A = this chain, B = another copy of it.
Amino acid sequence: MAIPRAAKTQRRTRIQEEKEELILEAALEVFSQNGFKGATIDQIADVAGMSKPNLLYYFRTKEAIHKALIQRVLDTWLDPLREFNADGNPEAEIRSYIRRKLEMARDYPRESRLFANEVLRGAPLIEDELKGPLKQLVDEKAEVIRSWAKAGKIAKCDPYHLIFSIWATTQHYADFDVQVRAVLGQEKAGEGRFEDAARFLEGLYMGGLSIPNK
């Protein structure tokens, strides 16, 4: 009798790992499209190709799925910022950060939307993550940017709002994809829009952050 929900033996089974992976992938699909309240367990189970009770054998509640999923996504989501290198060339670092973020918006739009949905509804599940690890990471990188400005390598600017603006502009292409496509129209809304966006954003930031009178 397996009363305990896949947690008695401390060690995770092969099947457990496979099925949990399957469920999280399905959950990403469903949650990112419908938000937390809009998604149903039945939907997720359906996409995952299993019955609802079977899914609930691995995750006790809908919230548990969402929590596990968003924790995992949040972690990889911040990788580009972690790679931000203090010793590198400022312009090159910022440029490649924008590129990486834009690539993620292009290649992982579901993750971006999942995150957007969560923050939009007040981020009840990741409040601590935001105020702790995320804030710490941003604080650290903001200090780097500030030091660059102080050293006269880039124009003086508020490093926090610089980071916010990069987040906003890049994730916009994932989160507001429908709107972007609608405005660009059928002709120009192909995959090339990410290249266009990259070109524009690099131009904007390189121009905006360069020292006026060198």
Interface residues of A (CB under 8 A from B): 33-38, 113, 116-117, 119-123, 127, 130-131, 134-135, 138, 155, 157-158, 160-162, 164-165, 167-169, 171-173, 175-176, 178-180, 182-185, 188, 196-197, 199-201, 203-210, 212
Contact = CB atoms under 8 A, between A and B. Distances in A.
- Copies assembled: 2
B33 A35 contact: no
B113 A120 contact: yes
Interface residues of chain A: helix, strand, loop or mixed (majority):
helix
Contact of A120 (B175, B180, B207): B175
A196 to B, nearest CB: 6
A161 B200 contact: yes
Closest 10 CB pairs of A and B: A37-B38, A208-B208, A168-B172, A130-B182, A161-B200, A207-B208, A204-B208, A168-B168, A131-B182, A158-B200
A54 B20 CA distance: 46
30 contacts: A33-B122, A34-B37, A35-B38, A35-B120, A37-B37, A116-B116, A120-B120, A120-B176, A127-B182, A130-B182, A130-B183, A131-B185, A157-B203, A157-B204, A158-B199, A160-B183, A161-B201, A162-B200, A162-B204, A164-B169, A164-B173, A164-B176, A164-B183, A164-B197, A165-B172, A165-B201, A168-B171, A168-B176, A207-B212, A208-B208
Contacts of A203: 155, 157, 208
Contact of A165 (B131, B161, B204, B209): B204
A124 to B, nearest CB: 9
A87 to B, nearest CB: 24
A196 B158 contact: yes
A210 to B, nearest CB: 7
